Amino acid sequence: MIAAKKIDIRNITFDELQQYLLGKGELAFRAKQVSNWLWNKSARSFDEMNNLSKSLREKLKDNFNIHPATLDQSQYSADKTIKNTFRLYDGNIIEGVLIPADERMTACVSSQVGCSLTCKFCATGYMDRKRNLDPGEIYDQVVLIDQQSRERYGQPLSNIVYMGMGEPLLNYANVIQSIDYITSEQGLNMAAKRITVSTAGIAKMIKKLGDDKVKFNLALSLHAANDQKRNEIMPINEQNSLKALSEALKYYFAKTKNPVTYEYIIFNDFNDQLQDAAELARFCKHIPCKVNIIEYNPISFASFENAREDKTEAFASYLLKQGIRTNIRRSRGKDIDAACGQLAIKEN
C-alpha cells in the first residue's frame, strides 16, 4: 500500500509502482516507463518524463517526491582525485570521491550519514551516525561522479567501491537495492564484479551476503589479525571476533565462491611487525583472498602514524612468500582529505 504522505518514489518497489498506476487507471507498461526515467535516465523531476501524459505526471507529483542528492562542492587533488560533497534533501551532507587511474575510474561512495562504529583511525568514526542513505541517494552519487568523470577526464566510471562514509552492512537492504539498480539493464547496467562493498566486519551480515549469493566483491577492513589489537582500534571486533569473522567468511565463500579482499592499514609500531604479518598470513588461510596493504592517512582526531617504508616492504614480502596475493596501495587525494579514512563533514 502507498502511504497518504508523499514519499520518494524511488523508495517503492516496481510492483508497488505498477499497482499504484493500475489503481489510477493507467496501463501496466507505464510503470516500466516511469522506472526507466528514474533509474536509466536518472530523472530528477517528474516534469522531465516527457513521454508521460501531463495528467499522469500531475498524479505522480500529487503522491510522490523525488529527493535527488545534489553536488554541493568539489575539491581537486594534485593527483587528480576529486572529493565531492553532496547535499541531501533534508540538509544532511555526505562525501564521495572520484579516483582516476590509467586503467580505471573508480567512484568511492557513502552508505550512511556519519557512522556508528567509532574506528579509532577513521575520521568518519568520530562523527555521529545520523541516518542511513536511501537507495536513490547512493545511486545519485554514482550518477554524479560518472558525469564528473566523463566531463573532466573523458572516461566513464569503471568501478564502484562502497568505502565512503558509513558501514554498508548496517544499511544492508538499501545498499543491496542500490546495487541492484546500478547493475540492472534498466539502470546503469554495470557488471557486479566491478563493485566492491567494504565492511568493518559484521559476522551475521557477512553470512547474509552468502545466503543472498551476491555477485559483487567483498572487502573486509581487517587492520589486525589479533583480537587484542583489533579491539583497540576497532570496537566492533568486541562483538565480532576474528573467530566469528573467519566462520562467517568461510560460510560466505562456500555460498558464493567469491574470494575476499582484506584491507590492512599499516600503522607505525602497532601492526607493522613480522609477527603481525604471520598472524595475518594464518588468517588468510581460511579462504581464497588477497591483501591490500594501505598507507595510513593522518586525521586530526588520532595520533597514529604510517609505518616506515622498509617495514611496509618487509611486511608485504613476508605475505608474498607465504603465497598470499598482496598489493601495497598508495594514498590518493591525501592533500584534500579525500584518502581512505579521511572522509568527515566538518561542522560549521
**Cα–Cα nearest to 66, from 134, 113, 3:** 134
Phi, psi angles (nearest 5°) of residue 252: -60, -45
Q: Write down the pLDDT at residue 348.
A: 40
Q: How far apart are CA 29 and CA 205, in angstroms?
A: 36
Element (H, E) at 230: helix 227-233
Among 152-161, 224-233, 290-299, which is the least confidently predicted range?
290-299
Residue % of the chain over a pLDDT of 90: 82
The CB-side HSE value for 2 (13 A sphere, CA atoms) comes to 25
Name the band, by pLDDT with cuts 50, 70 and 90, for residue 274: very high
Residue 105 resides in a domain: yes
Name the band, by pLDDT with cuts 50, 70 and 90, for residue 113: very high
Measure the CA angle with vertex 164, ends 331 and 115; round to 5°: 125
Q: Write down the pLDDT at residue 1.
A: 42
Domain that holds residue 14: 7-65
Query: 254 and 186 in one domain?
Result: yes
Of the candidates 26, 48, 95, 284, the residue annotated as catalytic is 95
Task: Find cell 544492508 and name the residue.
Answer: 172
The CB-side HSE value for 318 (13 A sphere, CA atoms) comes to 19
Name the band, by pLDDT with cuts 50, 70 and 90, for residue 335: low
Work out the average pLDDT over 95-118. Answer: 91
Residue 319 resides in a domain: yes
Query: 99 and 39 in one domain?
Result: no
Query: 325 and 205 in one domain?
Result: yes
How many structural domains is the chain composed of?
2
Last residue of a domain, one of 18, 38, 65: 65
The residues near 218 (Cβ < 8 Å, ≥ 6 apart) are 196, 197, 199, 206, 209, 252, 258, 260, 261
Query: 56 and 119 in one domain?
Result: no
Q: 180, 167 in Cβ contact below 8 A?
A: no
Residue 348 resides in a domain: no
| Chain segment 169-206, per-residue pLDDT in tens | 999 999 999 999 999 998 999 999 999 999 999 999 99
321: pLDDT strictly greater than 70: yes
Residue 75 resides in a domain: yes
pTM: 0.91
Residue 46 resides in a domain: yes
Q: What's the chain's average pLDDT?
A: 91
Residue 346 resides in a domain: no
Q: 196, 162 in Cβ contact below 8 A?
A: yes
Query: 120 and 266 in one domain?
Result: yes
Last residue of a domain, one of 65, 93, 111: 65
Question: DSSP letter string over 248-287?
Answer: HHHHHHHHH---EEEEEEEBTTTS-SHHHHHHHHHHHTSS
260: pLDDT strictly greater than 60: yes
Q: 111, 166 in Cβ contact below 8 A?
A: yes
Q: How far apart are CA 159 and CA 91, in angstroms?
A: 28
Q: How far apart are the first and last CA of the chain?
A: 41
Q: Write down the pLDDT at residue 284.
A: 97
- What CATH code is carried by the domain that includes residue 320? 3.20.20.70
Question: The C-alpha cell of 73 is what?
Answer: 562542492
Q: Is 279 a catalytic residue?
A: no
Work out the average pLDDT over 117-135. Answer: 81
| Chain segment 16-57, per-residue pLDDT in tens | 999 999 999 999 999 999 999 999 999 999 999 999 999 999
111: pLDDT strictly greater than 90: yes
Question: The C-alpha cell of 310 is what?
Answer: 622498509
Query: Could you tell me where the beta strands, DSSP code E, fall in 148-288?
Result: 159-162, 195-199, 217-221, 260-266
Of the candidates 108, 115, 122, 340, the residue annotated as catalytic is 340
Q: How far apart are CA 220 and CA 215, in angstroms?
A: 16
Q: How far apart are CA 268 and CA 280, in angstroms?
A: 16
Q: How far apart are CA 282 and CA 219, in angstroms?
A: 18
105: pLDDT strictly greater than 70: yes
Residue 91: how many other CB atoms lie within 10 Å: 6
Query: 61 and 76 in one domain?
Result: no
Q: Write down the pLDDT at residue 2.
A: 46
Residue 2 resides in a domain: no
Residue 261: how many other CB atoms lie within 10 Å: 19
- What CATH code is carried by the domain that includes residue 26? 1.10.150.530
Q: Write down the pLDDT at residue 329.
A: 86
Name the band, by pLDDT with cuts 50, 70 and 90, for residue 330: confident
Residue 343 resides in a domain: no
Query: 52 and 104 in one domain?
Result: no
Query: 18 and 100 in one domain?
Result: no
Q: How far apart are CA 335 and CA 65, in angstroms?
A: 38
Q: How far apart are CA 345 and CA 164, in angstroms?
A: 12
Q: Write down the pLDDT at residue 304.
A: 83
Query: 185 and 44 in one domain?
Result: no
Sign of CA dihedral 272, 276, 282, 283: negative
Query: 169 and 207 in one domain?
Result: yes
Work out the average pLDDT over 290-310. Answer: 85
Q: Is 305 a catalytic residue?
A: no
305: pLDDT strictly greater than 90: no
Q: At what angle do helices 135-153 and 172-183 cross, to 10 degrees?
A: 40
Query: 51 and 77 in one domain?
Result: no
Residue 156: how many other CB atoms lie within 10 Å: 12
Query: 95 and 61 in one domain?
Result: no
The CB-side HSE value for 241 (13 A sphere, CA atoms) comes to 4
Work out the average pLDDT over 333-347. Answer: 50
Q: Write down the pLDDT at residue 254.
A: 98
Q: Write down the pLDDT at residue 213.
A: 97
Q: Write down the pLDDT at residue 343.
A: 45
